[in-house]
Chain A
């Protein structure tokens, strides 16, 4: 069995463009990295920023957020709202020292099956180079690094 690091990538995609685009990648028989797990949302505007943080806390090494190109939103303005949110959110994460290179934002339309494969492959390659993202997960674990102290506390006094 190979011991090489395989990044876990979680992709949050919108139903109307990128999900259909990823479908097209499959039906066009384009091969791409199998590290990605896709979560389908009605719209990029629905993708709460907390979901990205939960992905990292749950063990993802990288995240892809993808939806319709500007002006192509099924709900007319969901992706515009999302764009504003990501602009601020990404800056904020960077300020706090969370690794923003692990989050890839992209616009992939339903006709861009090849682009989806390219986005996934690129992200997987980038994250593979960065290695596993353990800092964030470690901070997520309650009492992480204090197991010894905890065990001592549980000891019954003789």
Chain B
């Protein structure tokens, strides 16, 4: 922790960085801290509880726009950052990444190539809980699945916290704010809630890092991250690991295999 503080202080002091996105002590869990000065940097922490995805701030032009930015990134946040670079949403030279290894040590990355190598070499943190959810839901008959999801999504009051928490949801104009045509009804009703989730997850296909921030952000505890996790799984099964430029749905392979088109 002290290591991070002193490093960030040094970088902020020498103007190598103008902003550092990290965590500070919160009431229950750590909360985000946008440190712009050495005094701010004194409040930084970084431990195994720092799991919130801070990559979401990197595309916020009002906060980050044009500044040389450092970030404390979890494994999944690093995946997000690589993806955002592939989508030309970030400038490679302008970010400095500090990662937390599974052993709990701090790792400073010099280049994005290092980050990509690290992500390839390091096994992803376990998704066992999510896998079990998906298995359980898959095992239900279709009518029961419908009942499960409609009862879950009937609680949703459309705060769009799932959208706000997601680093990949960076469009300045979202489909739910478009009203010509109005694809998703703006009020909170079960079906339009479901249609919103379908849209969200379809737009995430192959881009989602599967960090689970959407589910964590939901104030009602609706397991929306399970839908995203299922999508990530389907993408992997059908098209392999998403890699490099070009999203899964904007590219194709003439040999894609399905079994339902007659």
* A contact residues vs B (CB 8 Å cutoff): 49-50, 53-54, 57, 70-71, 77, 80-81, 83-100, 104-107, 119, 135-136, 139-143
**B37 lies within 8 A of chain A by Cβ:** no
B258 partner residues in chain A, CB cutoff 8 A: 83, 86-87
Beyond A97-B144, A104-B262, A105-B260: 17 further Cβ-contacts under 8 Å?
A: A53-B195, A83-B256, A92-B198, A92-B231, A95-B137, A96-B197, A96-B198, A97-B147, A97-B150, A99-B146, A105-B261, A106-B262, A119-B262, A136-B191, A139-B190, A140-B189, A143-B189
**B149 lies within 8 A of chain A by Cβ:** yes
* B contact residues vs A (CB 8 Å cutoff): 134, 137-138, 140, 142-150, 183, 185, 187, 189-192, 194-195, 197-199, 201-202, 205, 227, 230-231, 234-235, 238-239, 248-250, 252-254, 256, 258, 260-262
A92 partner residues in chain B, CB cutoff 8 A: 198, 201-202, 227, 230-231, 234
Nearest 7 A-B pairs (CB), nearest first?
Answer: A97-B146, A97-B145, A80-B252, A139-B191, A106-B262, A140-B191, A105-B261
Distance in angstroms from B140 CB to nearest chain A CB is 8
Q: Which of B146, B202, B205, B260 contacts A98 (CB 8 A)?
A: B146
Q: A77 to B238, alpha carbons, bound, how many Å?
A: 18
Say whether B254 contacts A70, CB under 8 Å.
yes
**A-B contact list, 16 entries, CB within 8 Å:** A49-B202, A80-B253, A86-B260, A88-B202, A88-B238, A88-B249, A92-B231, A95-B230, A97-B149, A99-B142, A105-B261, A107-B262, A139-B150, A139-B194, A140-B191, A140-B192
The majority secondary structure among interface residues of chain A is: helix
